[in-house]
């Protein structure tokens, strides 16, 4: 019954291949190490203790990536997802008014559901129910969402009672440092430098310390205390519609993001045979287990990172690459004082740049078919304007079946989408 979850065979590698895999692992880690700085910066705004988030980020990333490498056998790395961490803070905690403990409970439930769907091979049917246009629009909307947050954190924009949003104080120290970081990141990426975002964070932090706008570290080596977040999730909101609205949003985005990343990296690495990625369920299980463990430790949804493609491009082909990344995340735990000194001006450009990368998929949306373009546009545009991924999905899930019905194309709508659309209508109007 569970043959589809059989572990990958352990590879026999030559010394030269081992060196190649280690090099690929280091490359992948450098390109995604920014999450160690950015995730605590975002989740701490929800009230989660900073030290606890550092511990949860590093350990959850390490465990999920090690499972991916040793169980699924792929050179892919995992960490708390960008966009999902922002939704956790601004959508669930600040938007819906839940405590961060209950928000972690929603992440935990989402992880358990993801495990169940993968265990019984149901995730494919669930993904098939969602129109491709909405699946493509979702990362674009998340990209706009986190870029908007990055612009605000950088001081480039601020709230205005007259126009909702207006230009910020570009002469402020935060805005100047963030501008420098943004240009450095863009230039490094344009030159193809590995770890451009990570290097930019280091450079801006150093500049902030030199100019007196960030305190120097009080030490170099120190372990964060996990007790403030470990097993702190609560399920007391499980009987409310808002809780399940958050769970559904987390689940669908997690699946879209993971399957999209696995497919893209599988194509790059030559892992896809006859149109399918072998051991897809094992890879999804690593993702689902990472999310569940992450909620227990104290972080938002864990997902597979597209940055893993840099390691694949360096020749990473086995789980050893992922194992190297996992070990490096564990080593990072010992450098907590360095993480805590990073200013907001250094992490804001990372949000903007990741947002740029995510919005690039907008060019592939079916803009010429209004029955597809309208729901897709509502999905991607509602997310940043309402600070909520769930609201964006609700806009898409409700508008898609209605416009198809009114144009006589109701057969294009999967039965499950009618149910989801109805549930979101109930959530909006009850």
Check if the beta carbon of residue 196 is closer than 8 Å to that of residue 188: yes
Predicted confidence band of residue 238 (pLDDT cuts 50, 70, 90): very high
Q: Two tokens at 220? A: 């170099």
pLDDT at res. 430: 61
Is the confidence at residue 1, as pLDDT, over 60?
no
User: What is the residue-averaged pLDDT of the chain?
Assistant: 90
Is the confidence at residue 63, as pLDDT, over 80?
yes
Domain that holds residue 319: 3-429
Would you call 362 helix, strand, or coil by DSSP? helix
Overall number of domains in the chain: 1
Predicted confidence band of residue 89 (pLDDT cuts 50, 70, 90): very high
**DSSP per-residue letters across 381-396:** HHHHHHT-HHHHHHHH
| 265: number of Cβ within 10 Å | 27
pTM confidence score? 0.86
Of the listed ranges 251-260, 371-380, 397-406, the one predicted with least confidence: 251-260
Check if the beta carbon of residue 392 is closer than 8 Å to that of residue 376: no
Secondary structure element (H or E) that encloses residue 304, with its range = strand 302-304
What is the Cβ-side half-sphere exposure of residue 291, based on CA atoms within 13 angstroms? 32
Q: Two tokens at 65? A: 């990536």
Q: How does pLDDT run across 7-53, given as a tens digit for each residue?
A: 777 778 889 999 999 999 999 998 899 999 999 999 999 999 999 99
Check if the beta carbon of residue 342 is closer than 8 Å to that of residue 41: yes
pLDDT at res. 19: 93
Q: List phi, psi (to 5°) of 206.
A: -60, -40
Q: How does pLDDT run across 371-385, given as a tens digit for each residue?
A: 999 999 999 999 999
Predicted confidence band of residue 301 (pLDDT cuts 50, 70, 90): very high
Q: How does pLDDT run across 140-167, given as a tens digit for each residue?
A: 998 899 899 999 999 999 988 989 899 9
> Percentage of the chain with pLDDT > 70?
98
Q: What is the mean pLDDT of residues 294-310?
A: 93
- Residue with the two structure tokens 């010429």: 368
DSSP bridge partners of 303: 79
Check if the beta carbon of residue 168 is closer than 8 Å to that of residue 177: no
Cα 211 → chain centroid: 32
How far is residue 414's CA from residue 394's CA, in Å, rounded to a whole number? 16
């Amino acid at each position: 019954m569970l043959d589809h979850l059989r572990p990958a065979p352990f590879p026999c590698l030559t010394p030269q291949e081992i060196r190649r895999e280690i090099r690929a692992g280091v490359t992948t880690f450098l390109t995604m190490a920014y999450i160690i700085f950015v995730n605590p910066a975002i989740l701490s705004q929800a009230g989660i203790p900073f030290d606890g988030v550092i511990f949860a980020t590093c350990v959850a990333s390490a465990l999920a990536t090690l499972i991916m490498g040793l169980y699924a056998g792929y050179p892919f790395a995992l960490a708390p997802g960008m966009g999902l961490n922002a939704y956790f803070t601004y959508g669930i905690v600040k938007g819906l008014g839940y405590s961060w403990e209950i928000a972690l409970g929603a992440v935990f439930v989402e992880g358990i559901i993801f495990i169940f769907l993968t265990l019984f091979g149901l995730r494919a049917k669930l993904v098939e129910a969602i129109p491709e246009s909405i699946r493509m629009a979702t990362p674009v909307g998340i990209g706009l969402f986190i870029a908007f947050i990055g612009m605000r954190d950088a001081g480039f924009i601020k709230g205005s009672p007259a126009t909702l949003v207006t230009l910020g104080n570009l002469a402020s120290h935060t805005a100047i440092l963030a501008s420098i970081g943004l240009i450095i990141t863009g230039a490094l990426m344009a030159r193809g430098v590995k770890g451009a975002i990570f290097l930019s964070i280091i450079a801006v932090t150093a500049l902030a310390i030199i100019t007196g706008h960030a305190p120097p570290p009080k030490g170099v080596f120190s372990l964060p205390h996990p007790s403030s977040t470990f097993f702190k999730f609560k399920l007391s909101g499980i009987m409310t519609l808002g809780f399940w609205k958050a769970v559904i949003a987390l689940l669908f985005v997690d699946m879209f993001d993971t399957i999209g990343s696995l497919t893209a990296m599988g194509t790059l690495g030559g892992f896809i045979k006859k149109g399918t990625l072998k051991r897809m369920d094992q890879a999804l299980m690593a993702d689902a287990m990472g999310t569940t463990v992450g909620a227990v430790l104290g972080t938002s949804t864990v997902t597979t990172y597209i940055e893993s493609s840099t390691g694949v491009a360096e020749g990473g082909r086995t789980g050893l690459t992922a194992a190297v990344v996992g070990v490096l995340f564990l080593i990072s735990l010992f450098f907590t004082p360095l993480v805590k000194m990073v200013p907001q001006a250094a992490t804001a450009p990372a949000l903007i740049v990741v947002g740029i990368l995510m919005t690039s998929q907008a060019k592939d949306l079916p803009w010429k078919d209004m029955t597809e373009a309208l729901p897709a546009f509502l999905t991607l545009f509602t997310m940043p304007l309402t600070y909520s991924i769930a609201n964006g999905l609700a806009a898409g899930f409700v508008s898609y079946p209605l416009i198809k019905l009114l144009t006589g194309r109701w057969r294009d709508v999967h039965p499950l989408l009618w149910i989801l659309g109805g549930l979101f209508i109930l959530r909006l109007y009850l």
